[in-house]
């Protein structure tokens, strides 16, 4: 499996493209605006078809490019039900972002929840619910790598903001302790913004989360 880190969109949101050239399949995690421009040439070069798009949460900077990706590929979309309003009626976010952005809704095919496991790219993936930055933030955990794609719950040395609608600091802090810090130490954490980190490093050093 290959991992391509593709920061895109107006606030450099990380999209993660996982490809499995042996199976000719690929999965995209999050879809910032215009991410298709970066994804398409990689799929072509590696002769992979994008079968699924997974949204870590419903904030516009993670979903803005989603409708285009689905139109181009027919990828099935997974997301958590608690962010349904954000994903299906993204204009509600223009109110709290304070500008008009012509956001397109994304049609979700499969609603995921805490503890779901499913096969993808020849391995198993586990879903964990990490609310507090936003009600429907989930992580996608690949035990076989090991890696967790955590959206905006946890960053390298920081955590997601909790001042947006549906945010709650205490809930986020607890969810990080219960759902992320319980993953194996060596698990690489891939956040929605900025550089990767590890579970061990954040458990030892993150100033926002009590050990
Ligand atoms: Zn967010």
Mean pLDDT of 162-171: 95
Mean pLDDT of 114-119: 98
State the pLDDT confidence band at 100, using cuts at 50, 70 and 90.
confident
| Distance from residue 191's CA to the centre of ligand 1 (Å) | 10
Under 8 Å between Cβ of 14 and 28: no
State the pLDDT confidence band at 211, using cuts at 50, 70 and 90.
low
| Distance from residue 185's CA to the centre of ligand 1 (Å) | 25
Q: What is the pLDDT of residues 5-46, one digit of tens each?
A: 999 999 999 999 999 999 999 999 999 999 999 999 999 999
- pLDDT computed for residue 130 by the predictor: 98
- Three-state DSSP state, 133: coil
Phi, psi of 209 (to 5 degrees): -120, 125
| Distance from residue 166's CA to the centre of ligand 1 (Å) | 11
Mean pLDDT of 60-65: 96
| 32, 62, 102 from 6: Cα distances, Å | 9, 12, 22
- pLDDT computed for residue 94 by the predictor: 85
Could you list which residues have their CB under 5 Å from ion ligand 1?
Answer: 59, 152
| 28, 43, 87, 195 from 36: Cα distances, Å | 10, 10, 18, 21
Opening angle at CA 83, ends 36 and 178, nearest 5: 105
- pLDDT computed for residue 97 by the predictor: 73
Per-residue pLDDT for 149 more than 70? yes
User: Mean pLDDT across the chain, nearest whole number?
Assistant: 96
Mean pLDDT of 138-158: 98
State the pLDDT confidence band at 101, using cuts at 50, 70 and 90.
confident
Mean pLDDT of 167-183: 98
Phi, psi of 92 (to 5 degrees): -60, -25
| Distance from residue 46's CA to the centre of ligand 1 (Å) | 30
| Distance from residue 22's CA to the centre of ligand 1 (Å) | 33
In the chain, % of residues over pLDDT 90: 93
In the chain, % of residues over pLDDT 70: 99
């Amino acid at each position: 499996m290959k991992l391509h880190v593709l920061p895109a969109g107006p606030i450099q949101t990380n999209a993660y493209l996982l490809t499995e050239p042996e199976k000719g399949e690929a999965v995209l995690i999050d879809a910032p605006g215009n991410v298709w421009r970066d994804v398409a040439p990689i799929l072509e070069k590696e002769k992979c078809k994008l079968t699924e798009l997974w949204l870590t949460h419903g904030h516009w900077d993670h979903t803005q490019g989603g409708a285009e990706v689905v139109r181009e590929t027919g990828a099935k979309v997974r997301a958590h039900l608690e962010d349904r309003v954000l994903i299906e009626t993204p204009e509600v976010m223009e109110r709290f972002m304070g500008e008009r952005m012509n956001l397109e809704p994304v049609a979700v095919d499969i609603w995921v929840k805490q503890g779901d496991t499913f096969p993808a790219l020849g391995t198993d993936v586990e879903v964990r619910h990490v609310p507090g930055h936003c009600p429907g933030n989930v992580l996608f955990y690949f035990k076989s790598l090991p890696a967790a794609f955590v959206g905006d719950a946890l960053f390298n040395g920081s955590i997601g903001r909790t001042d947006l609608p549906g945010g709650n600091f205490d809930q986020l802090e607890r969810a990080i302790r219960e759902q992320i810090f319980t993953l194996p130490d060596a698990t690489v954490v891939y956040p929605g913004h900025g550089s990767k980190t590890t579970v061990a490093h954040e458990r030892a050093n993150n100033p926002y989360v009590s050990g």
